[in-house]
Amino acid sequence: MMAPSVLVVEDEEPLRILLRYNLEAEGFDVRTVADGDEVETMVDERRPELILLDWMLPGLSGLEVCRRIRSKKDTRDIPIIMLTARGEETERVRGLATGADDYVVKPFSVPELIARVHSVLRRANPDVLAQTLEAGDIVLDCLRQRATRKDRDLNLSPTEFRLLEHLMRSPGRVFTRDQLLDTVWGQDSFVDDRTVDVHVGRLRKILNRGRDRDPIRTVRGTGYSFDERFGAKC
Ligand code: CA
């Protein structure tokens, strides 16, 4: 399956970098643009599956960009999530009235934003995101948040589920403990590197019984990855 494409429209460079980094880690194909005037050209070049659209932009405002995208037949259905600053309550309402599918208030937590992206994408186009991840005898049903191995219900906690889903969405990719903390736990939570090790340990205990092969690879000095040779596909 081709990676779903996300267009990030944001003039603050650190935020643009943060969004690109985290969306790419989720397996999205990410393009970014800083100026409202350039959005239509980018959208015409390649139709994104989703647009993250900042409210206050140089050139056309996010609101105007949203209006234009909604007014054209070819782009009308592209899901849009607005990024607004705190305190822009009235603007937020206007943003939704203009046709944004959802909005996120800055500063936002990355896991929260990723969850919104997934949920808006699922609503708009159920085929674009794999709802079920399968690798060998492990199956994740992402809609029902249910995980099984050889038909054995794994009863994962929400965090364990997010951790396994995150690893399984990018088989073979090595994530550092910091990256996992950012995307699975978010910056707000009171956790440290040990937390990741503890949860991976717990996840392994639940996943692997008897002679089961361990699908999670420890990369010494770096972090963890889901073994791509385990038969992962998504
Ligand atoms: Ca801005």
Whether the per-residue pLDDT at 125 is higher than 80: the answer is: no
Residues in contact with 29: Cβ distance below 8 Å, sequence separation at least 6, in sequence order? 2, 3, 4, 5, 6
Q: How far apart are CA 105 and CA 118, in angstroms?
A: 17
Whether the per-residue pLDDT at 234 is higher than 60: the answer is: no
Q: How far apart are CA 175 and CA 225, in angstroms?
A: 6
Model confidence at 143, pLDDT cuts 50, 70, 90, reads confident
How close is the Cα of 35 to the center of ligand 1, in Å?
Answer: 9
How close is the Cα of 59 to the center of ligand 1, in Å?
Answer: 11
Model confidence at 196, pLDDT cuts 50, 70, 90, reads very high
In a domain, residue 151? The reply is: yes
Question: Which residue matches tokens 């999670």?
Answer: 216
Number of domains in the chain: 2
Residues 114 and 136 in one domain: no
How close is the Cα of 117 to the center of ligand 1, in Å?
Answer: 19
Could you report the per-residue pLDDT of 29-67, keeping only the tens digit for each?
999 999 999 999 999 999 999 999 998 899 999 989 999
Domain of 155: which CATH number?
A: 1.10.10.10
How close is the Cα of 34 to the center of ligand 1, in Å?
Answer: 9
Are the C-beta atoms of 199 and 218 separated by less than 8 Å?
A: no
Model confidence at 233, pLDDT cuts 50, 70, 90, reads very low
DSSP 3-state helix, strand, coil percentages of the chain (rounded to 5)?
A: 40, 20, 35
pTM for this structure? Answer: 0.65
In a domain, residue 233? The reply is: no
Question: Which residue matches tokens 């969306």?
Answer: 23
Model confidence at 232, pLDDT cuts 50, 70, 90, reads very low
> Which residues, by Cβ under 5 Å, contact ligand 1, an ion?
11, 54, 56
Residues 144 and 119 in one domain: no
